[in-house]
Amino acid sequence: MRRLLVLGLGAALVATCVAVSTAGAGSHAENATTKKTAWFQLVFEGTSDADRIVDEGGPLGPGCAAQLHDDIHEETTFGRGKGVVMEFVEYGPVKYGFQRLGRIGDSSMNVVGKVTRTAKGGADIVQNTSVPFPCPVLQHHDLSQNPDCGKTKTDNAPWGLKIDGNHFRPVPKGGLGGNFVSQNECGRPPSGSAWGCT
pLDDT tens digits, one per residue of 37-84? 778 788 878 888 889 999 999 888 889 999 999 999 999 888 776 778
pLDDT of 101 > 90? The answer is: no
User: Residue 197: which pLDDT band, with cuts at 50, 70 and 90?
Assistant: low
CA distance 60 to 117: 29
CA distance 9 to 24: 34
Amino acid 157: pLDDT? 82
Verdict on whether the full-model pTM lies above 0.85: no
**Segments in the chain forming alpha helices (H):** none
pLDDT tens digits, one per residue of 2-22? 333 333 334 444 444 343 333
Phi first, then psi: give them for residue 176, nearest 5 degrees.
-65, 155
How many residues in total does the chain contain? 198
Q: Which amino acid is at 196?
A: G
Neighbours of 7 (CB within 10 A): 12
Phi first, then psi: give them for residue 66, nearest 5 degrees.
-100, 140
User: Residue 103: which pLDDT band, with cuts at 50, 70 and 90?
Assistant: confident
